[in-house]
Structure 1
Amino acid sequence: SERASSLPELNLVLCGSDGALKASVSDLLLGQREQRSVCVIRKGEVCGHLITLVEMPALYNTQLSEQEVMRLTLHCVSTCDPGVHAFLFIVPVGPLTDEVKAEIQMIQRIFSSRVNDHTIILFTNPYGTDKAAARFVEQSSETEQLLSMCGGRYIILKKSLAHDRPKQVLPLLNQIKEKVNVENLYSLLMYVEAQKDGVRLELESRLAEMEKTIQQLKTKQLQT
C-alpha cells in the first residue's frame, strides 16, 4: 500500500541456537504467530516501521550440511535488500552454554567480524525477576566479553515475552536506529567478501600444514 511504502524500513535477522526462543521473539516483534519452516521470512508494520524479519536457523550442531548452511545464510542476507540493519542474537539469561558459544563462533566464521558492528544481544529472561536478570548481565564476565564484541549493545526482554509488547519492542527499535549504523548496512557484498576471506585463510592453513609435513620428512631423511 501507499502508506506501507512510505514507512522507514528495517531488515532484521534473528540468530541463536534455540529455535523456540527465536520463534517467541519473532512473534513478540511482529505481534502475531506463524507456522515455522527451516528459514522463516516475515514482514509486518511495527511501531511505524516496515519490518522484514528473518529467523536464521541454528548453524551449529544441526543436521544441515556445510553447503546447506552456506545456502541458507546467503539467502538470509540476500532477502534483506539492500542489506541487514541489525543481527539480533538471542541469548537466555544465565551462564553461556556450549551451544551458544559455538553458535557465536559459527556466525563469526561465516559472516566475519564485520557482523559485530550490526549485532545487538537480546537477553531473554524466562526465570527470576527483571532486576536479577539485569544484575547477572552486568556482573557476568562471560557476558561482558560477549557484549564487548558488539559495542555493548543489548536489551533484556521481560520474563513474559508477550507482556506489555509496545514497551518491549519500541526500546529495541530505538536502539537499532540509535546505536547501529543503519546507513552502513551489512550487505551481500560483505557476505561474499567474508566467504572469500574464509577460503583464503583455509588455503593458507592447509599450505602451512603441508610445508610443515614436508619439513618433517626432510628432517627424517637427514637423520637416516
Structure 2
Amino acid sequence: MDVSKAIVILGKTGSGKSSLANTIFGEELFTIDHTINSETEKCRAATKSVNGRKITLIDTPGFFDTDRSEEDMKPAIVRCITECAPGPHAFLIVLKVEKFTEHEKAVIDKICQYFSEEVLKYATVLFTHGDQLPKGKSIMDVVDQNEFMKDLVQKCGGRCHVIDNKYWNNPRDEYRSNQFQVEELLKTIDKTVLANDGGRYTNEMLQTVEAEIQQEEELIRQSSENMSEEEIRRQARDRAYKKLIFKLAGVTTGALLGALFGVVVMVGAVATVLKISSEPVQLRHAVAKTVGVGLTGGIFRGAVGASGTTLGALTLTAAVTGAVKGALTGYDAAEGADSPQEAVKRANEAVQEEAQSFLDKTNDVLESMLQPKSKQSQNLK
C-alpha cells in the first residue's frame, strides 16, 4: 500500500494555513473563512498526490494564538493527536512575511516553549504573504534581520521557504512562483524524512493513542464487511477521538500541547493517564500513590495546572508528579459525566478543591515559620 506522508500545518490564526494547504494541493480542499473568526475551528485532514508524492495535510486551529481560550482549544488538540497518530512525517510552522511585532515574538516564544528539540528535526518554517518580500530579497535575507526568527529557523535545521497563496500564480521571477516554491518545499520534506531514516516523529503518547485506534480498527473489522481500510481507519479515529475527549478531560491544554510536541514530562504524564484510565479504579489510585502523592508540591502543581493556572517556582520533578496526579484527579472526577463540558467542569472543581486544601495547609506552615521564636517556643510548651 502506498504510504502517505503526514504533514501537520501549524501557526496562529490568520497566518494562511488553510490557504497554504490549498496551494500545495492545487485545489480548494480546505474551506477558507474570511470573517474575523478563525478559519479553522476544527482540525481537518485531506490526502492527495502532489508532484508524484502522496501526502496528507493536517490543518490545525491556531494552537499558538495568545488570545484563545484553553478549553476551546482542547477538542482540536485531541483531534490533531488522533489524526496524526502514530506521528507525522513533518511539521510546517507557518508565519507571515510582515513587520515583526511583540505579538509575533509571543507566538514564536510559545512555539519554542512547547516544541522539543526532537520535534524540530522534523519541522520546516514556511512564510506566507510572499508578496511582502522586498524586491530582490529572498526569505533568508528577511530572516537574517531578526534574531527570533533566525533562531527558530536555525533550530529547524535551516529549513525555510516562502509562498504567496494569492499573487504568485503567474510570476516572471521563478523564485516568486507558487509552483516552484511548492516543489522546493516538497523536496525539503523528502530530505527531512530521509534524514530521519524514513520514520515519523512519535513519542509515548502518540504511540498509546495509535494503540487505541488499532483496537477500534479490529472491532470494526469484526462487525463490518466490505469496508475499505481507509474507511475503517477513519471510523476508528472518530471512535478513539470520542473516548480520548473524556479520558483527557482533566488534563490541561498546555499539557496536551507539550505531550504532542515532545516535552518529556508532559509526554509521560499524559501517556500515563491514557494507559491507566481504562483500568480498575483501585489500580488508578494505586498508581497515583506510586507516582508521588508524598510530593505535596508536585500535587499542588498538577492540581493548579489542571485548572488552567501556572506556578513557575516549582521544580521540574514536582511538575512531573503534579501533572500526573492532577490529571488523575481530573479523570476520576470526570468519570460518569454526560458530556465533555460537564467532564471538564467536574475535573476543574475537583482539582481546585485539592489545590485550595494544599494552599490552606501551606499557609498554616508558613505562618508558623514566620512567628517570632519566642512565640514558637510558647506554642511548643
Contact conserved, 1:16 with 1:89, CA < 8 A, in 2? yes
Contact conserved, 2:46 with 2:56, CA < 8 A, in 1? yes
Deviations 1:64-116 (A, max 9, x none): x4244233123223212442111111112244333433333444555544322
Bigger shift: residues 171-180 or 129-138: 129-138
The one-letter amino acid paired with 2:184 is P
> Are 1:48 and 2:117 matched, yes or no?
no
Shift in Å, 1:141: 1.9
Aligned to 1:12, the other structure's residue is in SS state strand
Q: Which runs of 5+ in 1 are unaligned?
A: none
So what's the TM-score if we normalise by structure 1?
0.77
Shift in Å, 1:46: 0.5
Aligned residue pairs total 218
Q: Distance in 2 between the 1:162 and 1:198 partners?
A: 46
Q: Which runs of 5+ in 2 are unaligned?
A: 33-39, 171-176, 208-258, 271-297, 306-310, 316-358, 376-381
Contact conserved, 1:92 with 1:126, CA < 8 A, in 2? no
Provide closer, same or farther for how the CA distance between residues 85 and 178 of structure 1 changes in structure 2, counting only shifts above 3 A.
same
2:186 aligns to what? Answer: 173
1:142 aligns to what? Answer: 148
Provide closer, same or farther for how the CA distance between residues 183 and 99 of structure 1 changes in structure 2, counting only shifts above 3 A.
farther
Contact conserved, 2:90 with 2:192, CA < 8 A, in 1? no
> Are 1:183 and 2:198 matched, yes or no?
yes
The one-letter amino acid paired with 2:119 is V
2:344 aligns to what? Answer: none
Q: Distance in 2 between the 1:132 and 1:62 partners?
A: 31
Shift in Å, 1:217: 2.9
Shift in Å, 1:29: 0.4
Shift in Å, 1:14: 1.1
Aligned to 1:18, the other structure's residue is in SS state coil
- The root-mean-square deviation of aligned C-alpha atoms, in Å, is 3.5
Q: Distance in 1 between the 2:142 and 2:24 partners?
A: 24
Equivalent residues in 2 for 1:91-110, closer than 5 Å:
91-110=95-114
Higher gyration radius (CA): 2
> Are 1:80 and 2:76 matched, yes or no?
no
Greater share of residues in strand: 1
1:160 aligns to what? Answer: 167
> Which structure carries more relative contact order (alpha carbon 8 Å, separation 6+)?
1
Return the match for 1:25 from 17, 20, 26. 20
